[in-house]
Amino acid sequence: MIRWSLFFLFLGIVQSWAIDSYSQQTRFSLNYEKVKLVDVLNDIEDQSEFHFLYNENYVDVNQVVDYKGTNQRIERVLAEVLSGKGIQYAIHDRQIVLTPLENPATTPVGQDSKVVSGKVTNTSGEPLPGVTVLVKGTTTGTITDSNGQFVLRGIPGNATLVFSFIGMKSQEASVEGTEVLNIALQDETIGIEEVVAVGYGTMKKSDLTGSVAVLKSEEIAYKATANAAQALQGKVAGLQVTNSGAPGSSPVIRVRGLGSVRSDTEPLYVVDGVLTNDITFLSNNDIESISVLKDASASAIYGVRAANGVIIITTKRGNKDRILVSYSGYAGVQVPVDVMEMANAKEYIQLLNEKGEIAAKKTGGSFTPYDASKYNVSTDWFGEILRDNAFTTNHDLSFSGGNEKTLFATGINYFEQEGLMLFDLYKRINVRASVDSKVRDYLKIGFSLNLSNRNSDNSPNVAHAAYIAPPAVAMKDKATGNYMAMTEFGDYANPMVGLVFTDDKTSSNRLVGSGYAELYFNKNLTFKTSYGVDGGYVRDRIYLPKYELVGGNPSDEIERLQRRMSYSFDWYWDNTLTYTGKVTPNTDMTAMLGVSAQEQQGLFLFGSRLGVPLFPKNNTLYLNLGTPDSQTNNDGGSHIASSSYFGRVNISHLEKYMLTATVRRDGSSIFPEDNRFDIFPSIGLGWVLSKEGFMANQTAFEFLKLRASWGEMGNNKIPELTAFGTVDYETWNSTEFGGTIHQGASATYIGPANLLWEKTQEYDLAIEGYMFNSRLTFEIDYYNKKTIGAIFPVTVNSALGASNSSYLDNNADVLNRGVEMSLGWKNSIGQFNYRVNGNVAFNHNEVVALKPGTIGIYGGFMNVNSSTYTTVGHPIGEFYGRKVLGIFQNVSEIQNYKGPEGTPIQPNAQPGDFKYADQNGDGVINDKDRTFLGSALPTYNFALSYYMEYKGLDFQVDLYGQGGNHIYNAKRFRQIGNENYDKDFYDNRWHGEGTSNTYPSADMASQDNKVVNSWTIEKGDFWRIQNVQLGYTLPSSLTSHVGIGQVRLYANAANPKTFFKYKGFTPEIAKTGPESATSQGVDSYVYPMSATYNFGVNINF
């Protein structure tokens, strides 16, 4: 797939290089009798990429012409068509300028029109030939000659001219009051002079010394995602985004690999200066730009929470030039994709009979087969629990504007998404506002607020229940209409019962906001203070009523109600003093000093009771109406405080030598008092080679820069009580002494003696540049990122008397090393504009050290069996199990598979069982024969996007893929009774000698067959068509007279097709939680994925 991506990118470049030969290669076969010249010109435009420019006041295109020619070049066609018409032509690339043959000095000019001439140059004063000069809003125009000069006649006296040229910034100029316009166009340079957010400030992209990727609003706004973070997938090299299919869910995001085992590995989000852990309160349309700080040098300024990278989001602000009212909305459906086909009732019964016969042979007993004719139903459980079409819609209305002193922006967003599971529903309303006001020449103040309300009806994830449910049982009893039990085949849950009777609702409110004041002492010195909050309140309720099942006992004989309420409130206060000025005439410097305080706190309260009655409108769902003796309750919380002192200096000399240095002193309450503060430095260097004298005569690069950086950061996103011991006071710790009950306590957790900061050290080397008039952009990064003292479990000595078997300590060093490459091409051919962008990233993850005397850790537990092992020399959470050599075909093969002592290695095996490798050669198969079977962490990911626009029509397609990772298909492992099988297993299973040497028999429940092995570990490589969108912008002539500036209609398909070989719903396995790092890629309860098809409209008033 990577080769295809590079091919498409190369194709786009070759397409542009072929421009010069276009007029020679393009041929026309035309036949006209007595038609208007304008019709001929229109036909040529329709049949080719040529575009005509002329002034109708001087070029008579209504003259009648005749022409007949076959396979003729454009020059020959125009020479004959224009012969004797008083019109001359000039071909510039794919643009053809028509002008009159008359002497310009004698050409009359109307009373309300004028002649304007001038010269177009670059910023160095060199003339620019071939610049398109158009009267804005018309087709009247011309092209500059070889000296960069132009003349336009008969244009309105108040006209505005638009000057455009490939690789240069377009420029507009009014002709009112002048007849001579000399224009100097600036290099576009694809964002070189663009100002990007870097943390507590901004910098020109050309001055950056760290690894920072920048996305603009149009790169994510077109995507139909519930969470803005989901839209980042494939947009930034080195950013891994793993999505979940659940409605309203957040993706798992990692920047440059996984560096910790028990710490939070998600990046820090900074939204308009507010530090937060997720961005579920934002819609895609809220965002103006995103800066992804990937290396330690770039991220270090944010300190304690930035070790896993930083994503800075700037929301849309007001514009002083105009009042803008805009609406964006879409509606569509989500459909399940790649839903696994399961064995039907007939196949299921056949598999049970095969398994029963094998089990009987093994024990020497007898088996009575199931009579397939008794089972007249075949239930497709996935077809029952999933919606065929899940509705989704999004509406965003915004207002923005301002004047020279005050800018404002406000808006409201409504998002609704039905889940693929029946009864699943997610709704969100966001209200946002921002104001920036310069109240005095020396004072600027402002604020940003985002209030969100979310409500969801949560269906339990019954995907696994549907996977294992026997298909030979009907969903409902035809006679009573009640749901069926499944006791005939085992103690299995009817998947529909969980969906129908579970009443699970969540409601939450969240406020994210900040206010600031900037005080300008003079033009060089600025003081800024800002205060931000992120607060939320969440209510969860789960109610299970009484219900009856046919064919078995009711699962719930009494009602149950659970309630959970949680509260969180985070605040920060930053104060910075910034100096910007020149150290020497050729040296610019920005220096900043700052102090920051942060606090994160949260509380929760949980309670449940049985016997809570249900009446209409849920008016009785309160815990105090249940039976008091059934009550359970719990509460908890967290409280972390941090303070920091920091400084940064940026120096640019001659705009070609750059230095960025940062230092922070961070303190966090999560560490022991003696270890709470530490110092974290970073430095970055940049060298713009293209500005050196030895590069002056080269024409390949408009911009070429080398950069290198090193930095160290601390991470306090670890479990809160890691450094402290805990006890409990349960009743079983009490004792009687002297007739009195004395409360006792037991140690539940013994922590490390001297917990230190988890530190990340990283160096980064990169080269970036722009070529071919800035059409081609490239960036190549090499990074080496090492987590030192990673929080990693250490086994506890049982003699200490604590109930915990391990504790967390600075027990490991973890390495992530890789290369990131980004390549982009954009060009315009007449009115056809297009761009191609691609990126690929490679990452190597490895635990490089453990504390002496400690061992690795097991993880990914399923039915008390581990599936991963993390140790030195291997990635975090690598799968660990037995290697399958094949399938035993007969008894003789089992007896002849012998060890060094001449005895059978697997004497208890049956034909159809796995044949395992004796890794240690001791003649016995046991846990000592486990080996490493592959990692769930991708070793590479890539993306490719293509966009084109022509005369209001636009088209975009995005591709994304990843590989090198593996998945543990734990659904198949959990065959412990009469669970159903997937159709792939049925079609490929062993069911007699010679039928299969890869898939085992139906006896998957046997102890040796259900252990973790190489057959259950599958490759997780995939690539997908991520997004396809076709849009059309209505001509302004149709909309401007009703006060509408722009109307764009579009159709969109999100994730319509994913290509993979894994035998599951999806190769994207998102894991979250405190032990998720060692459970990556374990597929047991994955929510099905969907394709989304929607239609939408964007309107600017």
Identify the three-state secondary structure at position 7: helix
Render pLDDT for 673-719 as a digit per residue (tens, 0 to 9): 888 999 999 999 999 999 999 988 888 898 999 999 999 998 888 87
Domains of the chain by residue range: 24-190
**Mean pLDDT computed over every residue of the chain:** 87
Q: Tally the C-alpha atoms within 13 A of residue 156's C-alpha that lie toward its C-beta.
A: 11
Nearest in space to 315 (alpha carbons), one of 192, 428, 193, 407 = 407
Nearest in space to 115 (alpha carbons), one of 97, 103, 128 = 103
Nearest in space to 246 (alpha carbons), one of 548, 474, 471, 456 = 456
Query: How sure is the predictor about 1013, in pLDDT bands with cuts at 50, 70 and 90?
Result: very high
Architecture of domain 24-190: Sandwich (2.60)
Residue 1080 CB partners (closer than 8 Å, separation 6+): 258, 860, 868, 876, 877, 936, 937, 1069, 1071
Please, are residues 164 and 151 in contact by the beta-carbon 8 Å criterion? no
Token readout for 688 is: 């713009």
Query: How sure is the predictor about 117, in pLDDT bands with cuts at 50, 70 and 90?
Result: confident
* Statement: residue 1074 has pLDDT above 70: no
- Measured CA to CA in angstroms, residue 30 lies from 33, 50, 73, 83, 705 at distances of 10, 15, 11, 16, 52
Question: Can you tell me the distance from the alpha carbon of 674 to that of 259, in angstroms, rounded to the nearest whole number?
Answer: 25
What pairs with residue 960 in β-bridges?
943, 1024
Residue 186, number of CB atoms within 10 A of its CB: 12
pLDDT, position 551: 66
pLDDT, position 224: 82
Render pLDDT for 271-305 as a digit per residue (tens, 0 to 9): 998 888 888 888 888 898 899 999 888 888 888 78
Render pLDDT for 521-532 as a digit per residue (tens, 0 to 9): 999 999 999 999
Render pLDDT for 623-642 as a digit per residue (tens, 0 to 9): 999 999 999 999 999 999 99
pLDDT, position 597: 95
CA angle 947, 949, 952 (to 5 degrees): 145
- Measured CA to CA in angstroms, residue 668 lies from 647, 676, 756, 787 at distances of 18, 5, 11, 18
What pairs with residue 635 in β-bridges?
605
Question: Can you tell me the distance from the alpha carbon of 497 to that of 503, in angstroms, rounded to the nearest whole number?
Answer: 11
| Count of all residues that appear for the chain in the document | 1101
Query: How sure is the predictor about 105, in pLDDT bands with cuts at 50, 70 and 90?
Result: very low
- Measured CA to CA in angstroms, residue 490 lies from 462, 486, 862 at distances of 17, 6, 20
What average pLDDT score do residues 320-332 get? 86
Question: Can you tell me the distance from the alpha carbon of 959 to that of 7, in angstroms, rounded to the nearest whole number?
Answer: 13
Question: Can you tell me the distance from the alpha carbon of 128 to that of 144, in angstroms, rounded to the nearest whole number?
Answer: 7
* Statement: residue 848 has pLDDT above 80: yes
What average pLDDT score do residues 147-158 get? 83
pLDDT, position 886: 97
Q: Edge-to-edge strand order for the sheet containing 132-135?
A: 141-143, 132-135, 160-164, 171-174
Render pLDDT for 301-320 as a digit per residue (tens, 0 to 9): 888 788 888 999 999 888 77
Please, are residues 978 and 1004 in contact by the beta-carbon 8 Å criterion? no
* Statement: residue 338 has pLDDT above 70: yes
CA angle 975, 339, 980 (to 5 degrees): 25
What average pLDDT score do residues 969-978 get? 82
Question: Can you tell me the distance from the alpha carbon of 627 to that of 618, in angstroms, rounded to the nearest whole number?
Answer: 18
Helix (H) or strand (E) holding 575: strand 560-584
pLDDT, position 747: 60
Please, are residues 711 and 300 in contact by the beta-carbon 8 Å criterion? yes
Query: How sure is the predictor about 192, in pLDDT bands with cuts at 50, 70 and 90?
Result: low
What pairs with residue 275 in β-bridges?
270
Q: Tally the C-alpha atoms within 13 A of residue 74's C-alpha that lie toward its C-beta.
A: 24
Question: Can you tell me the distance from the alpha carbon of 645 to that of 595, in angstroms, rounded to the nearest whole number?
Answer: 5
pLDDT, position 11: 41
DSSP string, 530-564: EEEEEEEEEEEEEEE----EETS--S-SS-EEEEE
Token readout for 655 is: 């705009």
Question: Can you tell me the distance from the alpha carbon of 878 to that of 964, in angstroms, rounded to the nearest whole number?
Answer: 12
How far is residue 316 CA from its own chain's centroid? 20
Question: Can you tell me the distance from the alpha carbon of 767 to that of 506, in angstroms, rounded to the nearest whole number?
Answer: 48
pLDDT, position 2: 47
Q: Is the dihedral of CA 901, 902, 905, 907 positive or negative?
A: negative
Burial of 327 (0-12, 13-18, 19+ CB in 10 A): middle
Render pLDDT for 567-615 as a digit per residue (tens, 0 to 9): 999 999 999 999 999 999 999 999 999 999 999 999 999 999 999 988 7
Residue carrying structure tokens 């028509």:
98
Residue 648 CB partners (closer than 8 Å, separation 6+): 200, 301, 591, 592, 660, 661, 662, 663
The amino acid that residue 1042 corresponds to is V
Residue 632, number of CB atoms within 10 A of its CB: 10
Name the least confident of 203-207, 664-668, 809-813.
203-207
Render pLDDT for 873-897 as a digit per residue (tens, 0 to 9): 999 999 999 999 999 999 999 999 9
pLDDT, position 725: 64
pLDDT, position 774: 84
More confident residue, 622 or 737: 622
Nearest in space to 1025 (alpha carbons), one of 951, 1092, 1074 = 1092
In this structure, the dihedral spanned by the alpha carbons of residues 143, 146, 149 and 151, taken in order and rounded to 10 degrees, is -50
What average pLDDT score do residues 226-233 get? 87
Question: Can you tell me the distance from the alpha carbon of 515 to that of 446, in angstroms, rounded to the nearest whole number?
Answer: 6
Please, are residues 209 and 686 in contact by the beta-carbon 8 Å criterion? yes
Question: Can you tell me the distance from the alpha carbon of 70 to that of 30, in angstroms, rounded to the nearest whole number?
Answer: 6
Q: What percent of the chain shows pLDDT beyond 90?
A: 50
Question: Can you tell me the distance from the alpha carbon of 1100 to that of 1034, in angstroms, rounded to the nearest whole number?
Answer: 12
Please, are residues 382 and 359 in contact by the beta-carbon 8 Å criterion? no
Please, are residues 836 and 824 in contact by the beta-carbon 8 Å criterion? yes
Please, are residues 1066 and 950 in contact by the beta-carbon 8 Å criterion? no
CA angle 28, 31, 36 (to 5 degrees): 105
pLDDT, position 742: 62
The pTM (predicted TM-score) of the whole model is: 0.82
Name the least confident of 172-181, 372-381, 499-508, 771-780.
172-181
Q: Tally the C-alpha atoms within 13 A of residue 212's C-alpha that lie toward its C-beta.
A: 28
Please, are residues 577 and 527 in contact by the beta-carbon 8 Å criterion? yes
Please, are residues 526 and 564 in contact by the beta-carbon 8 Å criterion? no
Please, are residues 968 and 329 in contact by the beta-carbon 8 Å criterion? no
Identify the three-state secondary structure at position 338: coil
What pairs with residue 1032 in β-bridges?
953, 1049
pLDDT, position 403: 86
Q: Tally the C-alpha atoms within 13 A of residue 529's C-alpha that lie toward its C-beta.
A: 2
Render pLDDT for 463-513 as a digit per residue (tens, 0 to 9): 889 999 999 999 998 888 889 888 889 888 899 998 999 999 999 999 999
Token readout for 801 is: 């008397």
pLDDT, position 55: 77
Question: Can you tell me the distance from the alpha carbon of 786 to that of 759, in angstroms, rounded to the nearest whole number?
Answer: 8
3-state helix, strand, coil in the chain (%, to 5): 15, 50, 35
DSSP string, 277-292: S--TT--GGGEEEEEE
Render pLDDT for 11-50 as a digit per residue (tens, 0 to 9): 444 444 444 446 666 788 888 888 899 888 888 888 887 8
Please, are residues 804 and 792 in contact by the beta-carbon 8 Å criterion? no
In this structure, the dihedral spanned by the alpha carbons of residues 895, 897, 902 and 907, taken in order and rounded to 10 degrees, is -50
